[in-house]
Structure 1
Amino acid sequence: MKNRLKVLRAEHNLTQAKLAELLDVSRQTVNAIEKGKFDPSLPLAFKAARLFKLTIEDIFQDEEA
């Protein structure tokens, strides 16, 4: 799954560690999501969308689409 998490994090001047804290996950989880090695759970995707005030689709895109 492609995502804009790294770009959004940079735009909001957040470190991976701070974003992880805000999302209640580990920094390694944020890193894996940013690199496309891990797809977030639906609750985590909703949490990220609320944090950045975007829709899930604005952050995460299906690679097949």
Structure 2
Amino acid sequence: MKNALRGYRKARGLSQLELADAVEVTRQSIIAMEAEKYDPSLPMAYRLAAFFDVPVEQLFHNPWKSDKNPYQ
């Protein structure tokens, strides 16, 4: 799943290990998520979003959500 995890992590000046420790996962999980090779569980997505204080949708791209408003 496309995500902005790496950008948010780097903006905070965190290493992958520091982020992993903060959200209680392995460094390998952070590496895989940043490489878009692993999709986090819903609770993990919410934990990461809460850590960065952003909505889940801002951190993770929803491929099923249309940006178009059908009522316009």
Task: With the length of structure 2 as denominator, give the TM-score of the two structures.
Answer: 0.86
1:30-45 superposed matches below 5 A: 30-45=30-45
Equivalent AA in structure 2 for residue 44 of structure 1: M
Q: Which has the larger radius of gyration?
A: 2
| 1:60 counterpart = 2:60 | yes
Higher strand share: 1
For these two proteins, the number of residue pairs brought into alignment is 65
Q: Which runs of 5+ in 2 are unaligned?
A: 66-72
Q: Which runs of 5+ in 1 are unaligned?
A: none
Per-residue CA deviations over 1:3-29 (Å, capped at 9, x if unaligned) read 000000000000000000011000000
Larger RCO, structure (CA 8 Å, separation 6 or more): 1
Task: With the length of structure 1 as denominator, give the TM-score of the two structures.
Answer: 0.94
